[in-house]
Every structure is written in C-alpha cells, then in structure tokens.
Amino acid sequence: MARPPDRVLLGYLAAYDPHVSNLTLALREVVLEEAPAAIESIVKSYALAIGFCFTGKPLKDGFCHIVTCPDHVNLGFNRGALLPDPSRLLIGKGKSIRHMTIKDQSELENPALRRYLQAAIEQLNAAPAQTKPGSNSQTIAKRRRRPKKR
C-alpha cells in the first residue's frame, strides 16, 4: 500500500461525490506504486489537482497529474504528446499534455495505464528523489487586480 494521503487532500476530496473521491485515491495509489519516491503537489483551484515529480518542481519536472472532475478523474501526462500511444488511450491536441479519462475503478486494472506511467517516468530518466517523498498543498484563487491610481 502506498503512503497515506495528506489530510489536506482528504479535506479537499470531502467536497466531491464519494465515487469520485475513492477513484481519485485509488488512482493516486497506482501512481505511487509505480513511483514510490514521487513528491506530490496538491493544488485546489477550479478543480483539485495532484501533480507528481521527483524534484519538488512539479511545473518543470512533473511526469503526471491527477485532476478530479465532478463525475470522473483525469490522469494527465505532462509530456504526453511525446509518449507512445499504442492503445490510443490518450486524449488531447495540445503541444505537450495528454490525458486519459477514468470513470470507474475497474479501469485502473488496465495494464496499459501502468505502462503509460512507466513510460512517463522513463521520459525523465528519473533518479531517486533528492528530497523525501511527501506532499505539499496550496490553494490558488484568482487574484483581483485593482486599477492603478492615476
């Protein structure tokens, strides 16, 4: 079993339907089974996202992320456009990110899901983390800009 989820993550997930919360936690566990040294970054904005990296720099060095939606969970790959996609599971047309949509826990048993995770980790030539595995969290709210005084 992977390390227990951060209390902040559990607090954020409480706002979601239990099916989606459980799916998010189960997918998180799959990611951490493939990358036990990964560092999690939990971000709450318009959606709940968990980014995974080995360096503590999720925007620069992240290999995947989980985004919790109202009725499903997306597993995104930061460099997914470069991943081989023989099973044609990856969705997206952006410059780099691709994702797969997961609606049911049985989909987590698809061996292709772990192959995609392994390929995303291999893209980084990931070495064991220099820092301890763990979580950090932040809430991002849109800042309102005040007009400049003239």
Q: Where are the domains of the chain?
A: 7-139
pLDDT score at 82: 93
pLDDT score at 144: 40
DSSP secondary structure letter of residue 91: B
Cα atoms in the 13 Å half-sphere on the side-chain side of 52: 27
DSSP, collapsed to helix, strand or coil, labels residue 54 as coil
Task: Report the chain's mean pLDDT, rounded to a whole number.
Answer: 86
Averaged over 32-52, what is the pLDDT?
Answer: 94
Q: Are 12 and 48 in contact (CB under 8 A)?
A: yes
pLDDT score at 136: 53
Contacts of 8 (CB under 8 A, 6+ apart): 42, 135, 137
| pLDDT tens digits along 84-129 | 999 899 999 999 999 999 999 999 999 999 999 999 999 987 444 4
pLDDT score at 75: 98
Where would I find the H helices in the chain? Answer: 7-13, 18-34, 58-61, 111-123
Q: Are 26 and 104 in contact (CB under 8 A)?
A: no
Averaged over 8-37, what is the pLDDT?
Answer: 97
Averaged over 117-142, what is the pLDDT?
Answer: 62
Using pLDDT thresholds of 50, 70 and 90, give the confidence band for residue 146: very low
Using pLDDT thresholds of 50, 70 and 90, give the confidence band for residue 141: very low
Instruction: Answer yes or no: is pLDDT of 32 > 90.
Output: yes
pLDDT score at 139: 46
